[in-house]
Structure 1
């Protein structure tokens, strides 16, 4: 007996028949499949165009997993009592955003390398290694939890254990994002107030030891921050969802999932398409102080 069959057979009175306790809406599933499909194709093309191979196991992989998860939900919209698609979407949608988080970790490391490693507590390389390694661990834990829940023997034992494992993976990811945001915030504050952590020899440094932050680089920073916020909101939702149990009011309400999971991840993955590091980080190479001052003057003139 699997988790899905347990949920289907033990559905509380007043709930729809099936493991979801509702029937996934067909057109919504199709919409997200199309959106993730377009984004994944774009990411694949952009990775090859800019030779950013690390975008393949991160953003591109995230898109593929989301397509699989939402395809399974589309299957469920046709056959809501079937167990296999429920188990597929459970694992797919829980795990999918994790590679996207890894992309943000790598992007911040590259931003640090361009703006000034002396303002960061960790070097760009160490930053990427630590956070991406932790992200891989979270990915494995979430996948293990999803597989455990999908193969559960009973709701009271294995199913609960699988949910707890998934919950642990998502909470660990939330913790990593909080640490990531904290370190990033400190880095940008140190850049703003020219307060380096250590001395680093590097070219293109101004009199105070601070490298120029071009307009393109600022756009990349804002885009990465927005992408991280979307994933953070999604992770909070999944934490509340799983903490409430298999029959809780959150997990049994479709619109919460559509907006706070599907919607947030869609915004995050498209942000990385439109503000792709291959485009904006390339534009944000070493910049002279006069160029930055000229950009700031143009912005002030446009504002007035």
Structure 2
């Protein structure tokens, strides 16, 4: 069948289930409302980024819903593919920002990477991975050399997976370092935590960790799906369980992860300006002066 006459069943490998798409859209709307409420209560938070990502997820699932009713058009497949590829990037960006904030909250000496690099490095990596995947996807639809496009897109997915795993490792190192109160970077001065751990803060960070794991699960699935599409194509169940569920968990658990105290220096030696969402990171001299 010609590419120009492919319908949704040809592209998806199935007709998206309308009931599941409605349920997914409804659940994501609930998560979105939670973050809208959080943003209203704490405008300095990064809840607005989660809202954008969740709206993208909602848009993607609405496209899947309409794809059930209009089987003969491929438009909805293309739209859902793009928005469900872009939306998780906003979730990941929030994870990077939150680990950056927690690093300032407890002290940059407990972070293997200097706090400001979490956002700079990993957001850039996600954008590069997205561009590579889109470029590869475009080439794979070209009858001239579809295999080249496939391998380029696969390289983008694998690159994103590697970066996500690296971030998870850095977050794990930070958690262990804070729990043991053992700095992982040599910085002159005190080795104590800037702010004491509390049950509420630990719960908030646990929610951040759960969100991070959910993002990792999704990208592992996406990599496996892309590498061996024939194994997953034809069954919507894999996509529902390993794409929607992790993204819904991420959207839901990022709400308590945005615990407002991390935006304020409570018993902290860090300057208050550093807790604004538009603030800049500590310089090395500032880190040293605070730790003295």
* Range class of TM-score, shorter chain: 0.7 to 0.9
Distance 1:21 1:183, change over 3 A: closer
* Structure 1 gap segments, 5+ residues each: 9-15, 288-304
Structure 2 counterpart of 1:187, from 149, 174, 187? 174
Choose the corresponding residue for 1:42, options 31, 34, 38. 34
Report the 3-state secondary structure (helix = DSSP H, G, I; strand = E; otherwise coil) of the residue aligned with 2:78. Answer: helix
Q: Which residue of 2 aligns with 1:174?
A: 161
Equivalent of 2:204 in 205, 220, 229 = 220
Does the 8 A contact of 1:91 with 1:146 survive in 2? Answer: no
* Count, aligned residues: 266
Query: Could you tell me whether the CA contact under 8 Å between 1:4 and 1:87 is conserved in 2?
Result: no
Task: Tell me whether 1:70 sits opposite 2:61 in the alignment.
Answer: yes
Does residue 1:59 correspond to 2:43, yes or no?
no
Partner of 1:199 in structure 2?
187
Distance (Å, rounded) in 1 between the aligned partners of 2:108 and 2:228: 42
The secondary structure found in structure 2 opposite 1:268 is helix
**Gap runs ≥5 in structure 2:** 269-292
Q: Report the CA distance shift for 1:144/1:76 in structure 2 as closer, same or farther (over 3 A).
A: same
Equivalent position of 1:260 in the other structure: 242
**Equivalent in the alignment of 2:271:** none
SS across alignment from 1:135: helix
> By how many angstroms is 1:258 displaced?
0.8
> CA–CA distance in 2 between the matches of 1:92 and 1:146?
14
Contact kept in structure 2, 1:146 and 1:163, CA below 8 Å: yes
Match of 2:13 among 5, 15, 21: 21
- The 2-side partners of 1:251 and 1:163 are apart by 16
Instruction: Give the Cα separation in 2 of the matches to 1:234 and 1:162.
Output: 22
| Alignment correspondent of 1:285 | 266
Q: How does 1:118-137 map to 2 (within 5 A)?
A: 118-137=109-128
State the Cα distance separating 1:143 from its structure 2 match.
4.1
The answer to whether the 8 Å contact 2:16/2:68 transfers is yes
CA 1:193–1:276: 2 relative to 1, 3 Å: closer
How far apart, in 1, do the equivalents of 2:110 and 2:259 lie? 24
What is the aligned partner in structure 2 of residue 298 from structure 1? none
Rate the CA distance shift 1:157–1:72 in 2: closer, same or farther, 3 A.
farther
- 1:210 to 2:193 alignment: yes
Work out the CA distance in 2 between the residues paired with 1:81 and 1:181. Answer: 42
Q: For residue 107 of structure 1, what is the aligned residue in structure 2?
A: 98
SS at match of 2:232: coil
RMSD after superposition:
2.7
Shift of 1:64: 1.7
Aligned to 2:272: none
Q: CA deviation at 1:243?
A: 0.8
